[in-house]
Structure 1
């Protein structure tokens, strides 16, 4: 009887270790999946007219559960690092575009983020904004609109590694 319990305990210990390991692996997979579907990260924007890469935008958590996005690099050959937002009409008027926060106030609403604003530094206009990820978090659909979401346009940004 004592020998059976020892084997049983050893078997139970091995089974418990396997369950813990499987749980840790599954937890890691779930965390990686959740992280990959998060809009937090660096995204390559695409120019609407030329279809060419335009800039890199870094989306970060703002500390209050929301998201912000900042231009961290221009990708066009004619981009100048000292370019300013001369068309902006708010506090960003004549500020450097590089380093400028263009997305703010985004709050999670289910599988998307909504309630924020996005600035188009080319024309200085500020739009309401909603975003969501696609393709396992590798693409970010960014919709800027006036009033209701139907009155707007979407861009698809690509995650950078």
Structure 2
């Protein structure tokens, strides 16, 4: 009889331990569920609040007038739809000089290196030099553009990034951006000519 009582007490103790463990497990799971619900609510509130907040800073802009690194031309960049393009609006030398030969001396500088003979007589001033650029906010860079080099009549891929509010770096390249070179342009207030202070 004593042995039976001991067995019953043991089973009762074992059942009590199991119930306590089950209760603790339910509480632990309940805490996890409540914590997850709290995170979801906080995330939802943050998202709804953030939607009404302004951006951390204004979107940078390359729109304006830019003096090229050689200081002999000014390019005006404008936004057209969701893309950006640039035109030559001023040149230091917009007519040919004696060094270009008697046939050209005094005449308007034209796109004479263009591979299309029909375009070789168009003036360089007013020529579209950049096109197809679009702004990538993640990289804070204008990408997928094309740049025309009037010195050889070739078109290259290009991208632009702002170095500061008044400086930009244009990278022209063939194929991939690693195969190319950079040039730095300086912002101007108008189409030129540049003042002695521009640098």
- Indicate whether the TM-score tops 0.5: yes
Q: Which has the higher contact order (CA 8 A, sep 6+)?
A: 1
> Of 60, 73, 93, which residue of structure 1 is paired with 2:78?
60
With normalisation by structure 2, the TM-score equals: 0.56
* Aligned: 1:134 with 2:163: yes
Task: Name stretches of at least 5 consecutive residues in structure 2 with no aligned partner.
Answer: 1-53, 96-106, 190-199
Q: Following the alignment from structure 1 to structure 2, what is the Cα–Cα distance between the partners of residues 85 and 159?
A: 25
Q: Secondary structure at the match of 2:131?
A: strand
- 4+ residue runs of structure 1 moved beyond 6 angstroms? none
User: Taking structure 1 as the reference length, what is the TM-score of the superposition?
Assistant: 0.69
Cross-structure match for 1:17: none
Larger radius of gyration: 2
Kindly indicate whether the alpha-carbon contact (under 8 Å) linking 2:66 and 2:74 is maintained by their aligned counterparts in 1: yes
Q: How many residues align?
A: 120
| Residue correspondence of structure 1 range 10-159 to structure 2 within 5 A | 30-31=57-58, 34=59, 37-47=60-70, 53-62=71-80, 64-75=81-92, 78-80=93-95, 82-90=108-116, 92-110=119-137, 111-135=140-164, 137-159=165-187
Please identify which structure carries the higher strand content: 1
Superimposed CA distance per residue, residues 40-66 of structure 1 (whole angstroms, 9 cap, x where no aligned partner): 00000022xxxxx1100000011x210
Question: Is the contact between residue 94 and residue 125 of structure 2 (CA under 8 Å) also seen in structure 1?
Answer: no
Return the structure number with greater helix share: 2
Question: Take 2:172 and 2:121, find their aligned partners in 1: how far apart are those partners?
Answer: 22
Distance, in Å, in 2 between the alignment partners of 1:138 and 1:40 is: 11
> How many Å separate the matches in 2 of 1:94 and 1:146?
27
How large is the RMSD of aligned CA atoms in angstroms? Answer: 1.8
Query: Where does the alignment leave 5 or more consecutive residues of structure 1 unmatched?
Result: 1-26, 48-52
Cα shift at 1:92? 4.3
Cα distance, 1:92–1:117 mapped onto 2, change above 3 Å: farther
